[in-house]
Structure 1
């Protein structure tokens, strides 16, 4: 795919949704960090249902640590892998308090040193909470990047590196959200909704649907 096509693709995505946002509910960087950690192999909907009950009770490293693992599990037990996530969240809160003054660090290295936080989670927090032009490649972004040929790659790291190279700078801050929302609602896994797609004529996917 050439540069002109990519510029037009992101121009259209921006025109349709000028200020895209995550569907996870949060009010500060710490709430976002916890929500993203909980969302691994779970839906944003399930995480939001849990955090709507958790955050009014505990939404700081101090208050969540005070719940303890068993207390936290009562709020997140409807989310997949809640046992390991509870353990990671409690330890993460301890590290934030011990090493970062209770604040969420703003560097990739410090974020990835936290329990349960990998590159994808760090990218989401850096981008959404701190306005850094990172792209967290999940299953939706991996699929859209390969299917459209915007940034094909064999694995998430390849796709991330290629996206960071080829997405025009003026679109890099919001590219993560545009691509994930496009993959979640239009360029879906089983049968993409090509007929309802605003970039269908630019997409290089060969098996387009008529819907």
Structure 2
């Protein structure tokens, strides 16, 4: 995979979807933060159903603290691991109020210091809420990067670092979303839909399907 091929891959992904974004529903950086924390080992659709109940009632750190942990659980109990997620969100809200004036911080270090927030979640917030050119590598991006040859790596961090280094700057802000959506709907895990793929001829995967 050379730089010209990578550029063409991202050019086609952009042509196919000029304005990609997360499928999580949110209106503020805090809502996005809560949604991403809830999305661990859960579908975006399931998270959106829960936050559609939660956010009209409580969509600030102060409001969630006032709701209480049991009250929060009632709104998110349809999501997997809701007990531990509720605990983390309550601690996260307390820290936001006590240390950040109720605002979501804009640095990686401050974000990763929040309960329930790891590197991937921090990258999502930095990219989607604050427009920074980060790469939040989930299972979809990891699979696409390795399968296509775009940025192969043995670890999530290795893939992240190579994608950030090798993705042309003009595509870097949106690359995270293009690759997630491509992995979610086209380059799926068990049987990729190679016949419907806009980068079919550029992909270096050896076992392409006809679908």
TM class, shorter-chain normalised? over 0.9
In structure 2, the partner of 1:180 is: 180
Q: Deviations over 1:6-52 (max 9, x none)?
A: 00000000011111010000000000000000000100000000000
Give, in whole Å, the separation in 1 of the partners of 2:165 and 2:150.
Answer: 11
In structure 1, the partner of 2:46 is: 46
Q: Counterpart of 2:111 in 1: which secondary structure?
A: helix
Matches within 5 A, 1:105-120: 105-120=105-120
In structure 2, the partner of 1:89 is: 89
Matches within 5 A, 1:111-190: 111-190=111-190
Unaligned runs of 5+ in 1: none
Q: Counterpart of 1:87 in 2: which secondary structure?
A: helix
TM-score, normalisation: structure 1: 1.00
Give, in whole Å, the separation in 1 of the partners of 2:67 and 2:82.
Answer: 15
Give, in whole Å, the separation in 1 of the partners of 2:127 and 2:27.
Answer: 15
Give, in whole Å, the separation in 1 of the partners of 2:67 and 2:156.
Answer: 35
Q: Counterpart of 1:140 in 2: which secondary structure?
A: helix
Q: Deviations over 1:147-176 (max 9, x none)?
A: 000000001001000101100010000000
- Deviation beyond 6 Å, 4+ runs, structure 1: none
Q: Establish whether residue 205 from structure 1 lines up as the match of residue 209 from structure 2.
A: no
| Alpha-carbon shift at residue 93 of structure 1 (Å) | 0.4
Give, in whole Å, the separation in 2 of the partners of 1:192 and 1:147.
Answer: 10
| Alpha-carbon shift at residue 68 of structure 1 (Å) | 1.1
Unaligned runs of 5+ in 2: none
Q: Counterpart of 1:150 in 2: which secondary structure?
A: coil
